[in-house]
Amino acid sequence: MDTRTSPAAPPKTIRREDYRQPDWIVPDVALDFDLGAERTVVRARLEVRRQAPAPLVLDGDGLVPVAVRVDGQATEAWRLDGGALVLDLPGDAHVVETEVALSPQTNTQLMGLYASGGLLCTQCEAEGFRRITFFPDRPDVLSRYRVRLVADKARYPVLLSNGDLVGSGDLDDGRHFAEWHDPFPKPSYLFAAVAGDLAERRDSFTTASGRTVQLGIWTRAEDRPRTAHAMESLKLSMAWDERVYGREYDLGIFNIVAVNDFNFGAMENKGLNIFNTRYILADPDEATDSDYDGIAAVVAHEYFHNWSGNRVTCRDWFQLSLKEGFTVFRDQGFSADLGSPAVRRIEDVRALRATQFPEDAGPLAHPVRPESYMEISNFYTATIYNKGAELIRMIHTLVGPGRFRQGSDLYFERHDGEAATCEDFVVAMEVGAQVDLTAFRRWYGQAGTPRVEARIARVEDGTVSLALRQSTPPTPGQPDKSPVPIPLRTALFDRASGARLAEQLVLLEDAEATVALGRAPGDVALSINRGFSAPIVLVADRATDELAFLAAHDDDPFARYEAVQGLMLEALVDRVASGDAGGAADAAVDAVGAMLADPALDDAFVAEAALLPSESFIGDQMLVVEPLAIHDAREWLRARIGRAHLAAWRERQERGANQPFAYTPEAKGRRRLRGVALAYLLAARDTDAAARALDQFQRADNMTDRFSALSALVGSDAAERETALDAFRVRHGGSPLVLDKWFGVQAGSSRSDTLETVVRLSRDPDFTLANPNRARALIGGFGANQLALHDDGGAGYRFLADQILQLDRLNPQTAARLVPPLGRWRRFGEARAAAMRAQLERMLRTPGLSRDLYEQVFRSID
């Protein structure tokens, strides 16, 4: 089917309120694949059962039926309707067989069955299965799958699908086959098959009840040594889900396949996860510590989906956060337990503010449970994932871990084997955790980030009271907002002694409230939204010296981090507004110095807290974003913090530099702080900073130190920059994932020639839009570069739009995900806004846009 749109025929909108149960279900399906890169033939045998008096509609996308049979008889009594195969069937139960031919080699969308680096693999979520065979491709149709794969044995010696291997053997003409049976009914989006010349890292895991699970991670043979960390992460995830959620794995086999070309991070297909190589492959020479963390988190995430997603799936795609928000919350808990919970929370909140807050404040804002979409692929968003996880976290905070577990137990028990809704989850929590979530439900339906104003006042008898007020700005389609229940972990500190006076969980339910916090004789400091207990923007009326006090004394590490960030933000905003930075800059400088001097703080925390707020987050605090002024202010503050603590930065950059690589929390923290220190030294224009960076780059025995040195150098004019960039490419040019870093780091550079560089790199023989990782590294990296994108009279916008349009021809999903930076046009001054909008309009006028891109651009213009 041609899903390409024209302005005359915009895509149709799907609405949540239109949900209807399926007219037909398919309890059993058998699939037969005759695999080849150029041509694959798929034969499907569906046992269909009527649920309503309606024709059988089998979704299809780009499929042409070669043959159709009903109850064993060939039939011509079918029609195609918008790609779907429609059959009027007489009875209530039939066997429908279809045959189609596919061309995996030319599938550049990476949805359905496609070729990647000599492999054949599938991606079905959300609606890719209909590109493989005719089927009711919706998550509330659950089927048992039997899959037979046939392929050339030399080219595709490994044949994998979901479930258990029930047969295999050789055929004539050098071909062979494998048969897989998945006993757990599943929706079509969880189907997967892989064929290729793959090497396996094999291991096993014994579950709590004593069953042995065979674990396999499959890659190209040369990548096999780099799968140890992923395997370790998998086993830790399996044990964690048993311990924390009481969830055991349910099949005899759990396989993971890593592929080069993948639209997302990874996919939780039942018993056969398929991963972007970037979230599997790691060794110290090629992956940074944050890559290692990403691998552990994504391996855990996909594994956890086996319960939160697969055993209990989603009724329809409006319920996507049911599995994604919950599963992100689960992987965040896993990562927190693995390392430092405080640092992990800081990282999660930084990611939320970098991606979700802007989304919630812009034209693409939507509720965690959306009301409508044109293309569901556009709704795999930070709101569904990260804000969704914050909703689950708030419930967890409200009821505590014990009752939360009772709620999750009840949820899994009630809905095992079903396609459920967000409402089902909330009800299970209400019953299992004994809590009334009537008002809380509003969080699911209302878009936008609530703003909470907080002010403390002293009442006559020495009682301190907290005045709170909440409001949520309007979002597209939702002009008026209601108050939502907001759990705020709050504490007071005595300014004189530094002692904490009281801590409580304040629940703000109404638009306004005043809460008594307790009696305090002297001056107090207010610590609020500790641990980021609610995903809100806090506007607390706190003086610089109060923030400085909290930066030094708050015993909640997250709140302490927030206080330091608050000082930095205040300094930066003042600097941009008036060229002056008041006392906040001095206080920020001192706060960083005090942390560097505090032996009780671990390096990873100091590194996080010393990091300046990003340019885009600074911009979010302003009425009109001025990218250049923001950049200059940030560099100015960075140089001040750098110069004020030169000796400490040098010492932190050198500390432990001669020790061989170790993957321990201490060593990771040291490396993290080393990178931050180096950036401060360069900003301070310390005389030997560039040489020092190059030295770190050259001597590093690991990617973390090498890459932090390269990142620090890439924005400079020093000769060392070219030396490092060239050496990096020579050393790592053969490794696609590392080459992505090389492209990405240049796209993120603050140099004034960045646009030129990116244009040149887009013509580099190693650049291709066909690989999503590469496209995201260069084009996505450029789109995220506030300074370069908004520089230079709109040339950056034009370049970005050109690339998006080109990519849309190949891969609509990945193209559509590059639009948001242009959609922020309202936040900029007139000239920039007009130039950005002009590019959106140009895109919308382009004939033959994909549905994906059309929707993103259309919504961004309004």
Positions touching Zn ion (CB under 5 A) are 324, 327
CB contact at 8 A, 182 and 271: yes
Q: Which entry of Zn ion, ligand PHE, none binds 266, CB below 5 to 8 A by partner kind?
A: ligand PHE
Binding mask 108-127 for ligand PHE (x = CB under 6 A): ---------------x-x--
Minimal distance in Å, beta carbon 241 to ligand PHE?
A: 15
Q: Which of 138, 186, 226, 301 binds ligand PHE (CB under 6 A)?
A: 301
Cα dist from 606 to 84, 151, 649, 673, whole Å: 57, 55, 12, 7
Q: Closer CB to Zn ion, residue 327 or residue 340?
A: 327
Q: Closer CB to ligand PHE, residue 109 or residue 470?
A: 109
Query: Whole-angstrom Cα distance, residue 645 to residue 494?
Result: 29
Give helix then strand counts, H and E, for the chain: 30, 31
Minimal distance in Å, beta carbon 858 to Zn ion?
A: 27
CB contact at 8 A, 525 and 546: yes
Q: How many CB atoms lie within 10 A of CB 544?
A: 18
Minimal distance in Å, beta carbon 249 to Zn ion?
A: 17
Site for ligand PHE in 643-672 (CB under 6 A): none
Site for ligand PHE in 125-144 (CB under 6 A): 125
Q: What residue spans of 416-537 are helical by DSSP H?
A: 422-432, 442-445
Q: Which entry of ligand PHE, Zn ion, none binds 116, CB below 5 to 8 A by partner kind?
A: none
- Which among 859, 760, 763 is positioned nearest to 819, based on CA atoms? 859
In eight-state DSSP terms, residue 60 is -
Applying CB under 6 A, the site for ligand PHE has a residue count of 11
Site for ligand PHE in 246-285 (CB under 6 A): 263-264, 266-268
Binding flag, residue 617, ligand PHE (CB under 6 A): no
Q: Which entry of ligand PHE, Zn ion, none binds 267, CB below 5 to 8 A by partner kind?
A: ligand PHE
Q: Closer CB to ligand PHE, residue 264 or residue 854?
A: 264
Query: Whole-angstrom Cα distance, residue 648 to residue 228?
Result: 36
Q: Which of 140, 261, 291, 302 binds ligand PHE (CB under 6 A)?
A: 302
- Which among 86, 92, 79, 8 is positioned nearest to 49, based on CA atoms? 92
Q: How many CB atoms lie within 10 A of CB 324?
A: 24
Neighbour-count burial of 717, counting CB atoms closer than 10 A to its CB (0-12 exposed, 13-18 middle, 19+ buried)? exposed
Minimal distance in Å, beta carbon 273 to Zn ion?
A: 11
Minimal distance in Å, beta carbon 653 to ligand PHE?
A: 37
Minimal distance in Å, beta carbon 663 to ligand PHE?
A: 25
Q: Closer CB to Zn ion, residue 302 or residue 554?
A: 302
Q: Closer CB to Zn ion, residue 321 or residue 773?
A: 321
Q: Closer CB to ligand PHE, residue 268 or residue 608?
A: 268
Query: Whole-angstrom Cα distance, residue 502 to residue 555?
Result: 12
CB contact at 8 A, 31 and 133: yes
Q: Closer CB to ligand PHE, residue 122 or residue 803?
A: 122
Amino acid in the structure at residue 250:
D
Q: Closer CB to ligand PHE, residue 43 or residue 305?
A: 305
Q: Which entry of ligand PHE, Zn ion, none binds 264, CB below 5 to 8 A by partner kind?
A: ligand PHE
Query: Whole-angstrom Cα distance, residue 554 to residue 567?
Result: 14
Minimal distance in Å, beta carbon 300 to Zn ion?
A: 11
CB contact at 8 A, 162 and 145: yes
Query: Whole-angstrom Cα distance, residue 95 to residue 48?
Result: 6
Residue with tokens 């906040």: 584
CB contact at 8 A, 291 and 282: yes
Q: Which entry of Zn ion, ligand PHE, none binds 123, CB below 5 to 8 A by partner kind?
A: ligand PHE
Sheet holding 193-196, edge to edge: 112-116, 119-123, 193-196, 158-161
Neighbour-count burial of 847, counting CB atoms closer than 10 A to its CB (0-12 exposed, 13-18 middle, 19+ buried)? exposed
Minimal distance in Å, beta carbon 645 to Zn ion?
A: 41
Q: Closer CB to Zn ion, residue 305 or residue 441?
A: 305
Query: Whole-angstrom Cα distance, residue 532 to residue 488?
Result: 8
Handedness of CA 105, 109, 111, 116 (dihedral sign): positive
Minimal distance in Å, beta carbon 461 to Zn ion?
A: 52
Sheet holding 164-170, edge to edge: 73-74, 67-70, 93-102, 40-50, 24-34, 143-152, 175-186, 164-170
Q: What residue spans of 598-702 are helical by DSSP H?
A: 603-610, 615-620, 627-644, 646-654, 665-683, 689-699
Minimal distance in Å, beta carbon 859 to ligand PHE?
A: 20
Determine which helix (DSSP H) or strand (DSSP E) holds 299, and give its type and residue range: helix 289-304
Binding mask 317-356 for ligand PHE (x = CB under 6 A): -------x--------------------------------
Residue with tokens 């040369």: 222
Site for ligand PHE in 364-423 (CB under 6 A): 380
Q: Closer CB to ligand PHE, residue 266 or residue 612?
A: 266
Paired with 33 in beta bridges are 42, 149
Q: Which entry of Zn ion, ligand PHE, none binds 860, CB below 5 to 8 A by partner kind?
A: none
Q: Residue 333: CB partners within 8 Å, gap ≥ 6?
A: 244
Residue nearest ligand PHE by beta-carbon distance: 264
**Could you say which of 302, 347, 570, 608 is catalytic?**
302
Query: Whole-angstrom Cα distance, residue 570 to residue 572?
Result: 5
- Which among 251, 266, 272, 265 is positioned nearest to 194, based on CA atoms? 272
Catalytic, 248? Answer: no
- Which among 535, 489, 484 is positioned nearest to 515, based on CA atoms? 489
Rg (CA), the chain: 28
Minimal distance in Å, beta carbon 327 to ligand PHE?
A: 7
Minimal distance in Å, beta carbon 343 to ligand PHE?
A: 23
Q: Closer CB to ligand PHE, residue 234 or residue 437?
A: 234
CB contact at 8 A, 852 and 816: yes
Q: Closer CB to ligand PHE, residue 263 or residue 708?
A: 263
Q: 156: helix, coil or strand? A: coil
Contacts with ligand PHE, residue ranges (CB under 6 A): 123, 125, 263-264, 266-268, 301-302, 324, 380
Active site residues: 302
